[in-house]
Structure 1
């Protein structure tokens, strides 16, 4: 089991990496990690590029703020994922440019914001549904995410950005980065490329045990 100190450090490393490469700007975005007795989550209005391990908020399993700076306003959304999917140990939310632009221009489908374009999108990300715009921290969004926590690896919040969950903070970040790069490819190509064929996706299922 990864120690709390190690998780605090991992959150800071991932946040700094995402910020420095432009996946999030200013004080946008948040990251959380599961503990045996609750969660760690980045503070509200914190810059992911300037996180300090001791400032990261600790929250008990019932949602009570235990220590650190005030937790992110999206705490309830993160909590719904952890409560419903025991395999999730990390959640990452950013305001990534290409993905937000995709929601402004129009997603591929409401239940899948992008067609299957690349093998690693299929393998590492999977289907990502769109959740219609509501204000940051809306309890209605958290309730919607709760219904999806076990069926997908993430969601796209319209006009806000992706929320991705995985077995660790780092893996959630990797999946989010793959999703953002796929959106960038989709937005920059004209005419739009054809999706991978069903035969190509079936081969990924057979060779890599992909769920799609």
Structure 2
């Protein structure tokens, strides 16, 4: 058992405490060299055990622990996009799930640059077309997207974010949920977003993805 697995379990418990993983929904994972440690299928994020995570190789073969979440292909796809990604959070949080049922703001982001913190901590968040949960084809679509991003909304499903650390993935997931909540609170009112130049400046300053 490593301290990083403990950090992952603590992050999952925080997400559950915030009400962002209703029931046994959502899953988290951690890259450990050539393997991936993730929450088991049907697990409650509030009650994960660092010593009882599912450990898989890149082909999805279970190496240790209980059966993994069927969303493993989604996690693997994100890890394949960038070797710096070390942790992934996938949630069915209410506001992100609601926004995932709306039309995307643009082809490269489901949400506009609505706050500086969304741009700084999350960045552009593409909407990945619907597929049944666990469908490897959706993971393939995410992996193949030809633009930089570290968060996505899965149509009619929820959010998935990646981070270079567990803390970064946790913060991005919370910030994305808050941005979705704000967007829904605004409803049909005309929205004043950040200008593109403002978003690009913030993205460059904080190292977040924005633009093609």
What SS does the corresponding residue of 2:2 show, helix, strand or coil?
helix
Which consecutive segments of 4 or more residues in structure 1 shift more than 3 A? 205-211
Q: CA deviation at 1:104?
A: 2.6
2:192 matches 1:194: yes
Query: Is 1:51 matched up with 2:48?
Result: yes
Q: Secondary structure at the match of 2:63?
A: strand
Q: Which runs of 5+ in 1 are unaligned?
A: none
CA distance in 1, matches of 2:108, 2:155: 12
Are residues 151 and 201 of structure 1, via their aligned partners in 2, closer, same or farther at CA, if it must alter by over 3 Å?
closer
Alignment of 1:105-144 (within 5 A): 105-144=102-141
Distance in 2 between residues matched to 1:141 and 1:205, nearest whole Å: 27
CA distance in 1, matches of 2:5, 2:146: 24
Distance 2:9 2:154 in 1: 23
Aligned length in residues: 209
- What SS does the aligned partner of 1:120 have? helix
TM-score, with structure 2 as normaliser: 0.90
Assess if the C-alpha contact under 8 Å between 2:86 and 2:166 holds in 1: yes
Tell me whether 1:169 sits opposite 2:166 in the alignment: yes
For the aligned residues, what is the CA RMSD?
1.9
Render the CA deviation track for 1:108-159: whole Å, top value 9, x for unaligned: 2343111101111111111111112111000111101111387211211112
Task: Find the aligned partners of 2:63 and 2:102 in 1 and give their Cα distance.
Answer: 41
The alpha-carbon deviation at position 67 of structure 1 amounts to 0.9
TM-score with structure 1 setting the length: 0.90
Indicate which of 9, 32, 36 corresponds to 1:35. 32
Report if aligned partners of 1:84, 1:149 keep a CA contact under 8 Å in 2. Answer: no
Instruction: Give the drift of 1:12.
Output: 1.0
Separation in structure 2 between the aligned mates of residue 206 and residue 53 of structure 1, nearest angstrom: 36
The separation in 2 between residues aligned to 1:177 and 1:209, in whole angstroms, is 18
